[in-house]
Amino acid sequence: MRKIFIVFSAILFLAEASAQKIPAEKKDLLFKTPEYWKQIAASKLKTAPKKVVEDINKFNNEAIAKGFSFTIGYTNVWDKRITEITGFLPPDTKDKSTLYPSKSFTSLPIQPLRIQIPCNENNRIVDMRDYNIITPVRSQRNCGSCWAFASIAAFETAYLLKNGGDPSQLDLSEQQLLNCTDITCTCGGGRHHIAFMHMNSHNIQGENGYPYNAVKTNCENENAINTLFKARSWGWSADPLFGGTTIQEIKRNICRYGSVTAGICADSNFQRLIGDGVFNMTASCGAYPNHAIQIIGWNDDKEAWLIKNSWDVTWGFGGFGWVKYNLNLIGAWATWVEAEEASPVNSGNTLPAGIVDYNSADLATLENLINPTSSYRLQSVTNWTGDKDLKAGMVIDVDDPTGFAAINNSNKGRRVIQWSNHGSLAFGSDGHNQEWWFIPSGQRNNKPVYRLFNNGFLNFLTDNNSSSPVNENGNGSNNQLWELITSDMAGCFFLRNLATQRCVQVPTDMNEGSSLLMANMNTDNAEGRNNNQKFRLLRQPVPAFGDNITQDSWVKLAPSYATDKVMDLTAGNAANGSNIQIWQWMTGNNNQQWQIRNEGNYYTLKGRAVSNKCVEVYGFSQANAGNVVNWDCLAGKNQQWIVIECVRERGKYVLFNRNSGKCLEVAGWGRDNGSNVQQWEFVNGTNQKWEIRKAN
CB 608 within 8 A of CB 589: no
C-alpha 347/C-alpha 443 separation (Å) is 15
pLDDT at 616: 93
Q: What is the β-pairing status of strands 69-72 and 273-279?
A: antiparallel
361: left (phi over 0), alpha (psi -120 to 50) or beta: alpha
State pTM to two decimals: 0.52
pLDDT at 227: 82
Winning range, highest mean pLDDT, from 16-25, 382-391, 403-412, 584-593: 584-593
pLDDT at 369: 66
Residue 269 has pLDDT above 80, yes or no: yes
pLDDT, average across residues 16-34: 76
| More confidently predicted of 523 and 383 | 383
Least confident of 378-382, 466-470, 631-635: 466-470
CB 441 within 8 A of CB 498: no
pLDDT at 81: 94
125-157 tens-digit pLDDT:
999 999 989 999 999 999 999 999 999 999 999
Residue 421 has pLDDT above 70, yes or no: no
| More confidently predicted of 599 and 567 | 567
Q: Bridge partners of 657?
A: 641
Model confidence at 302, in pLDDT bands (50, 70, 90)?
very high
For residue 425, give Cα distances in angstroms to 82, 450, 453, 536, 657.
72, 25, 18, 18, 27
Q: Between 192-201 and 146-163, two packed helices, what is the crossing angle to 10 degrees?
A: 50
pLDDT at 496: 82
C-alpha 120/C-alpha 126 separation (Å) is 9
> Which overall architecture, per CATH, does domain 555-694 show?
Trefoil (2.80)
Q: What is the CATH number of domain 9-13+35-104+125-339?
A: 3.90.70.10
pLDDT at 15: 34
| More confidently predicted of 81 and 433 | 81
| More confidently predicted of 471 and 555 | 555
Domain locations in the chain? 9-13+35-104+125-339, 355-539, 555-694
DSSP-based three-state secondary structure for 537 = strand
pLDDT at 401: 52
* Length reported for the chain: 696
C-alpha 359/C-alpha 353 separation (Å) is 17
Model confidence at 237, in pLDDT bands (50, 70, 90)?
confident
C-alpha 277/C-alpha 648 separation (Å) is 56
pLDDT at 2: 34
Q: Do domains 9-13+35-104+125-339 and 555-694 have the same CATH topology?
A: no
Least confident of 8-12, 128-132, 177-181, 622-626: 8-12
The topology (CATH level 3) of 355-539 is Trefoil (Acidic Fibroblast Growth Factor, subunit A) (2.80.10)
Residue 46 burial (CB count, 10 A): 8
CB 496 within 8 A of CB 485: yes
DSSP designation for 229: -
Average pLDDT, the chain: 80
Residue 379 burial (CB count, 10 A): 25
pLDDT, average across residues 418-435: 57
Burial zone of 378 (CB within 10 Å; 0-12 exposed, 13-18 middle, 19+ buried): buried
Least confident of 26-30, 66-70, 446-450: 446-450
pLDDT at 432: 80
344-402 tens-digit pLDDT:
333 333 333 443 444 444 455 565 567 788 888 888 777 554 433 334 456 676 766 54
